[in-house]
Chain A
Amino acid sequence: MTAPSTRRGEFACISAIGLLALPFVARTAAPGLFGGIDPRAFLLLACLAKLAFEGWGAFLAHRCAAGFEPGTNVRRAWRLLSLGLLGFFLAQLALARYQIVLGTQSPFPSLADVFFLAAYPLLIVALACFVKAYEDAGFPMGTASERWTLIGLVTGLCLLLGYPILAPVARTEAPLLEKVLNLAYPLLDLAMLVPTAFLLRVTLRFRGGNVQRVWMALLIGVLALAGGDIAFACFSTLEVAQLESVVDALFIVSYGCFALGALAQEDLLNR
Chain B
Amino acid sequence: MADTNRGSVLEAITGVISPYLGPGMARSAVEAHARKLGVDGPQITPEQIETLMAKIGAGLNIFVGRDKSSAILEEVKRVLAGAVRA
Contact surface of A with B, Cβ cutoff 8 Å:
1-2, 4, 67-69, 72-74, 133-134, 136-140, 205-212, 214, 268-269
Contacts and interface: CB of A to CB of B under 8 A. Distances in A.
Contacts of B66: 68-69
Nearest to B17: A209
Given A1-B75, A205-B22, A137 B65 contact: no
Nearest to A69: B66
B68 A205 contact: no
A271 B63 CA distance: 13
A207 B20 CA distance: 10
Contacts of A68: 61-62, 65-66
Contacts of A133: 62
A136 B29 CA distance: 13
A207 B62 contact: no
A67 B21 CA distance: 19
Given A69-B61, A133-B62, A207 B22 contact: yes
Contact of B19 (A72, A209, A269): A209
B63 to A, nearest CB: 5
B59 A268 contact: no
Interface of B: 16, 18-26, 28-29, 32-33, 55, 58-59, 61-66, 68, 71, 75
Contact of B65 (A2, A140, A269): A269
Contact of A268 (B23, B26, B55, B64): B64
Contacts of A4: 19
Nearest to A270: B68
A138 B29 contact: yes
Nearest to A66: B65
Nearest to A68: B65
Contact of A206 (B21, B58, B71, B75): B21
A166 to B, nearest CB: 36
B20 to A, nearest CB: 5
A241 B2 CA distance: 73
Contacts of A138: 29, 32-33, 55, 58-59
Contacts of B16: 1
Contact of A137 (B18, B58, B68, B71): B58
Contacts of B32: 138, 140
Contacts of B28: 140, 205
